[in-house]
Chain A
């Protein structure tokens, strides 16, 4: 309560009635903001996440334009210049067959990143549909789908991959993408189902049902959009593990066949000469680690930005 002195100066009309403006009482003072703007604002505050975002963008640019920056291609052998460390001509040096590593790293990056991104998005879409239906419809449908997933997940993924290799032919990108998707959709379905179970009990979903909405409407208009936030975080955090998985498969010989490079291929080739020419090994490792780290930090940042408890 304010304490005021006795000597106050009052104006002529001070004690006349103030006309009440009812509409003024309903005005929303704050600026309009969308969910996306809110999330971006929170995300921006996380320096690590922002730096990672910039780093990944630069990586993508390099992966696309990098090979064009040098006059060399990624597959021509040149026995005059084998095993050269990084220098002014070959910025990353050359490998055991004289191939320019700069070009190989970036072309390899195209393969690795493409497998990682498509190999994450494709199963995610499948998982969203399956998990969304399973979670919303519930009952027997849910039980059958979940038990199926349980069984399929119990089989080691390498078995699928080897089988696929036999059927589709080994060594090409398509096979790898399919292989990764077949194992990936199940995790996505489970995750989506869990989210849908939480969301479907909220009143706005019941409201939609009472308005006469069909299950498809509810899933497409309410459940999936509200689950997307968390699924995007999941996608961002899955990509690094797929990058690594591709590298692992290449390393054990099930990945992309030479001379097509991928980061995993490069590491495998370099591991044989690691003792003498460590740069051949270190450079692709560096980029794999960097991209994995950045995606993880972006995913973390997104998760924090989306957390409703941390929002104002």
Chain B
């Protein structure tokens, strides 16, 4: 068992300058992903999860902190190494209608990576593309068609085939199912699980769908406005979650069962998801938190291990626990 994690994030911060303000999209994240595991990253819009995904993919440079792949900082790579990184870490995108070039035929889309790296002859690339399409449940007839002739689910599968072409070890899945119909979502998640088993892939599964992420993740991290608030093993998170945001989030998700819904007591957060501009030395969640005190507005809580492999960032866990999470 190789204990070295595949990917390690150390204090990663990614900022954007918008006119005079600084948008701290990712504000200090420490994370680890091991070979063959799936880490779910959950949060609502604007929490920075997509930005984090793109930072890992070498698309955004962190203002602070390090992204270590197999122990090496990816920003110390030479030009060739940077190109090779594409053969280790790949991405699947959210919008199946925008993630494929409308002017490229399917087999060209799938084999583009191979083409860029000069692998195989054109004929071999074509054969490989067909092979990949078959692995994702499509077939030879689809190879010469254009993306707009396919449904959302099929396009997403083409995107997965494209990501697999370079035989990566880690795939960052950025909301891969949000734009799909319910029954197709299950198809794609099942496909991803199968591929993981067959190829030993690791996934960073970014989503806002807490119900779905449970079906595929080994561990789950909850993010709010650029910081992690809770991190635990999958079942642990759902059964023993402790951070007030996690509690509110889980209670807000509607469950497809009218009896359960009728009995549930929802924790309703006041206000809207706050703007990520201007937050600094304070807890990212304090403005909406029922338990916030002066301390929360002045000192950012660190992720602390509260149980085995279960981390929470909160100053007032004892208060939260006392109230049974209301």
Contacts and interface: CB of A to CB of B under 8 A. Distances in A.
Chains A and B bind each other:
yes
B86 A212 contact: yes
B86 A210 contact: yes
B103 A211 contact: no
A28 interface: yes
B112 A208 contact: yes
Interface residues of B, number: 40
A87 interface: no
Interface string A32-72: 11110000000000000000000000000000000000000
A222 B103 CA distance: 8
Contact of B162 (A35, A207, A212): A207
Interface stretch (A13-21, A143-151, A153-161, A198-206): A198-206
Interface in A181-238: 202-204, 206-213, 217, 222, 225-226
A34 B146 contact: yes
A225 B108 CA distance: 14
Given A28-B142, A33-B149, A210 B98 contact: no
Interface string B241-255: 000000000000000
A203 B103 CA distance: 14
A30 interface: yes
Contacts of B93: 203, 206-207
B91 A226 contact: no
B66 to A, nearest CB: 20
B150 A28 contact: yes
A226 B139 contact: no
Interface string A272-306: 00000000000000000000000000000000000
Contacts of A207: 91, 93, 99-100, 159, 162
A217 B57 CA distance: 18
Interface in B91-149: 91, 93-95, 98-103, 112-113, 116-117, 137-139, 141-142, 144-146, 149
A23 interface: yes
Nearest to A213: B116
Contact of A32 (B83, B89, B149): B149
A204 B100 contact: yes
Given A203-B98, A204-B100, A28 B83 contact: no
Contacts of A30: 149
A226 B86 CA distance: 24
A26 interface: yes
A210 B57 contact: yes
A204 B101 CA distance: 6
A24 to B, nearest CB: 12
B91 A225 contact: no
Contacts, number: 79
Contacts of A217: 116
Interface string B144-162: 1110011000100001001
B59 interface: yes
Contacts of B162: 207, 211
Given A206-B93, A225-B103, A26 B137 contact: yes
A211 B86 contact: yes
B14 interface: no
A212 B102 contact: no
Contacts of A208: 101, 112, 116
Contact size class for A?
20 to 34
B166 A28 contact: no
Nearest to B145: A32
Given A34-B146, A210-B57, A211-B116, A226 B102 contact: yes
B24 interface: no
Contacts of A206: 54, 59, 91, 93
Contacts of A213: 112, 116
B219 interface: no
Contacts of A33: 146, 149
Contact of A212 (B101, B116, B141, B146): B116
A212 B87 contact: yes
B207 interface: no
A226 B154 CA distance: 22
B90 interface: yes
A35 B83 CA distance: 32
A30 B90 CA distance: 32
A213 B85 CA distance: 12
A226 B147 CA distance: 14
Interface string B230-261: 00000000000000000000000000000000
A211 B59 CA distance: 11
Nearest to A22: B137
A226 B103 contact: yes
Contacts of A26: 137-139, 142, 154
Nearest to A218: B116
Given A35-B103, A206-B59, A207-B99, 7 more contacts: A32-B144, A33-B149, A207-B91, A208-B112, A210-B59, A211-B116, A226-B103
22 contacts: A26-B138, A28-B145, A28-B149, A32-B144, A32-B145, A33-B149, A35-B102, A35-B103, A203-B98, A204-B98, A207-B93, A210-B58, A210-B59, A211-B90, A211-B116, A212-B82, A212-B83, A212-B86, A212-B117, A225-B103, A226-B101, A226-B102
Give the 5 A-B CB pairs with smallest separation, nearest first.
A212-B86, A211-B113, A203-B99, A203-B98, A203-B93
Interface of A: 23, 26-28, 30, 32-35, 202-204, 206-213, 217, 222, 225-226
